Amino acid sequence: MRIIAIDALGISQPGGGRSATLNVLRELLRLDAQRHYIVLLDRPEPELVATGGHVEQVVEPVRHRMLSRAWAQLVWPVSLRRRGVSLVHHIKNLSAFGLPGRTVVTIYDLAILLRPEIYPLSDVLYWRYVQPHLLHSADRVIAISRRTASDLIEVYGLSPESVRVIYPAYAPRFRVLPAEEAQRARRAYGTGPRFILHVGSLSRKKNLTTLLRAFEELCERGYEGKLVLVGRQYGKGYDRAFVANLEVSQHRPRVILTGPVPDDDLPALYNAAELTLFPSLHEGFGIVALEAMACGTPVIASTAGALPEVVGEGGLFFEEVTDWRALAETAEGLLADEVRREQQIKRGLEWVARYSVAEAARQTLSLYDELLG
């Protein structure tokens, strides 16, 4: 039996990366019971327990982000070779040298190089000087969007033949729910009857100061709802400007920071929201936008990174990423016109139907078959 190792270090952190990775990984492991899988993790992953006896979870003893990578580089080349591993798939951006068999690396985006001012210098240097060697030594690189594939070819000089675009997809739990589920979410999180939603880490990449200013403008124009931000503080890109602006905002009492929420609560929050705003500075995919549209929530996004490609006709856009007035005007237009809002909901639901977790898993398995012969 062939043995495949999946490097999934880091997926324990809540966020779009975790969602996109787990959605495909669960389905991949369900579809392929013919091979043995070793899933390398920084914490046990309960969501993978039910995938079958052909799946083995191996948890690293080191939890620190950088130290865990150093530990992996020291230990994996020997341990995976002893286990007879035929292929290693690094499923979330980072990889290692000297591993046995064929290698695949999934890259989400190159935001660290395209927006270096919002990341720690150590990360920028790694992606600038170490990551190119790792990617050029890989047999295949999976990009989660055509935009990321283009960036990989342009920035790192990878050959187009070595890069494969495989879209991730949203989980089936993201769907239109009964009205009582949305009402339960409103009560649980104290949102009141009306609110605008943002889902994502509280980081500089998410452009939250623009979001806050747009919300303040909407309030000045008469909007009576709240702004709800779901997500964890992101240490690597801590947004000091947003935190400072929020503290002095006269509308601070109407802004709710929930922190990470349980996976089962998120669909109901999407369903309860009037709009989801997604003004990111860069996204390699933007799974939040798909989740929102699948729940019947209109999406307004920036045109940064892969968002126009992924959101497409299912959402609305504002052009200049820091133009908070344009974001506010676009949001106000939907909030004030219920017929237009319902039309946008319908377009969103039709658009997201093209994204399939099963198809993403099948394409990934096809790539494994290609490399393993």
Residue 301 belongs to a domain with what CATH number? 3.40.50.2000
Both 122 and 222 in one domain: the answer is no
Q: How far apart are CA 370 and CA 161, in angstroms?
A: 13
Both 260 and 312 in one domain: the answer is yes
Predicted local confidence at residue 189, as pLDDT: 97
Q: Is residue 8 part of a domain?
A: yes
- CA distance to 4, 18, 36, 87, per residue, from 1 (Å): 10, 29, 7, 12
Both 26 and 68 in one domain: the answer is yes
Predicted local confidence at residue 94, as pLDDT: 84
Percentage of the chain beyond pLDDT 70 is 97
Give CA torsion, residues 151, 156, 158, 163, to 10 deg: -40
Predicted local confidence at residue 93, as pLDDT: 86
Q: Is residue 96 part of a domain?
A: yes
Both 197 and 345 in one domain: the answer is yes
**In terms of DSSP H, where are the helices of 88-189?**
111-114, 121-125, 131-137, 146-156, 179-189
Query: What is the amino acid identity at position 16?
Result: G
Q: Is residue 241 part of a domain?
A: yes
Both 332 and 196 in one domain: the answer is yes
Q: Is residue 337 part of a domain?
A: yes
Q: Which two tokens stand for residue 247?
A: 């503290």
Percentage of the chain beyond pLDDT 90 is 76
Instruction: Provide DSSP, 257-292.
Output: EEES--TTTHHHHHHH-SEEEE--S--SS-HHHHHH
Q: Is residue 298 part of a domain?
A: yes
In tens, the pLDDT along 34-90 reads: 999 999 988 888 878 766 679 999 988 776 667 777 888 889 999 999 999 999 999
Q: Is residue 49 part of a domain?
A: yes
The model's confidence at residue 240, banded by pLDDT at 50, 70 and 90, is: confident
Both 148 and 195 in one domain: the answer is no
Q: Tally the domains of the chain.
A: 2
Strand ranges inside the chain, DSSP E: 3-7, 36-41, 55-59, 87-90, 102-107, 140-143, 163-165, 195-199, 226-230, 255-259, 275-278, 299-302, 316-318
List the 55-59 sheet strands across, edge first.
55-59, 36-41, 3-7, 87-90, 102-107, 140-143, 163-165
Q: Is residue 174 part of a domain?
A: no
Q: How far apart are CA 289 and CA 310, in angstroms?
A: 8
Enclosing domain of residue 343: 179-352
Q: How far apart are CA 277 and CA 268, in angstroms?
A: 16
Predicted local confidence at residue 273, as pLDDT: 97
Both 239 and 160 in one domain: the answer is no
Q: Which two tokens stand for residue 190?
A: 């104290």
Predicted local confidence at residue 154, as pLDDT: 96
Both 149 and 192 in one domain: the answer is no
Both 132 and 254 in one domain: the answer is no
Both 143 and 13 in one domain: the answer is yes
Q: Is residue 254 part of a domain?
A: yes
Q: How far apart are CA 309 and CA 90, in angstroms?
A: 24
Mean pLDDT taken over the chain: 92
The model's confidence at residue 1, banded by pLDDT at 50, 70 and 90, is: confident
Collapse the DSSP code of 203 into the 3-class scheme (helix H, G, I; strand E, B; otherwise coil) and give the result.
strand
Both 10 and 139 in one domain: the answer is yes
Both 291 and 163 in one domain: the answer is no
- CA distance to 78, 103, 176, per residue, from 74 (Å): 8, 17, 47
Predicted local confidence at residue 233, as pLDDT: 81
